[in-house]
Amino acid sequence: MNIDDNTLGPTPLHWSRAGDAGAVWDIVLLLIVHMMGHPIAWAGQQNGRAVNNIVPAKGHENEQTGASSTVLLSPHTEDAFHPQRAHLLLLCCMRNHDRVATTAASVRRTALDTQDIAQLTRPVVPILPDDAYAKVPDFHGEPPAVRTLWESPEGLTLRFDPAYTPLDQAGEDYRAAYRRLGHELTKASTEVVLEPGDVLVVDNDAVVHGRVPFRARYDGTDRWLKRALVRIPGRPSRPSSEQHEHGYGQSAIEPQPIPNTATTTASPRPGNH
């Protein structure tokens, strides 16, 4: 897919000012999503839009969110705090003049020993909602302790977001294993420089992603991605214990499936045969 930079229009200065900029690519991205599963959105993020605009924003340079720029966006599982997080993450590049790299690392390419895996399969600490969300609504219950690692039918799976994990609540053995996991993910990391029209698909159950630092200009030429989230019905990659989590009151918006009327068998008409 090719994107004409001259007709695209300027990079929005904030997601809330994007309007319908690049809207045709929202449609393209959603068509790709529907070939893989179905889209989800979040009521508390970017006003519940199914396709999000990822652009640097003034005042957010040092945050651990997609609106940051001057800091390393630490490798993480997308929406790790929530039991209804996406199975797949899609990033479509609209503009990337500075060739800012997205990072990706699979837990299945790490060399963790059995003791570290055993430590990290225990639910010890919670993962808190990240700063990209609107104010956390009222919810009942304490932040749930969650597993960082577990085995699924597809292989080793992780739920990882160090920037929003209060590791000071864990014992030293757990913290040491968590640090080693982070080190192994760094060793396994690769950098992907997206060109306009590229779509990167990230397996959110096995791969953490991030972004290298860059200096935003806020002049309409900065890096601009579109993001969509995919759930795969029936994918057996999550432990059953996640069903009891409250998700901090954040709600996933999932479309209702459209009935396939093309295959409906017509009833015979009464009358002559």
- Average pLDDT score over residue span 212-229: 97
Greater pLDDT, 273 or 70:
70
Q: What is the pLDDT of residues 253-269, one digit of tens each?
A: 987 655 555 444 443 33
Task: Give 7-12's long-range contacts (Cβ < 8 A, gap of 24+).
Answer: 8/94, 8/95, 10/219, 10/220, 10/221, 11/55, 11/94, 11/95, 11/220, 11/221, 11/222, 11/223, 11/224, 12/53, 12/55, 12/224
**What is the overall mean pLDDT for the chain?**
90
Greater pLDDT, 259 or 248:
248
- Average pLDDT score over residue span 185-213: 97
For the chain, domains (ranges, CATH) are 5-131+141-237 (3.60.130.10)
Q: CB burial class (10 A; 0-12, 13-18, 19+) of residue 41?
A: buried
pLDDT at 53 exceeding the cut of 90: yes
Structure confidence at residue 39 as a pLDDT band (50, 70, 90): very high
Greater pLDDT, 140 or 183:
183
CA distance 59 to 179: 30
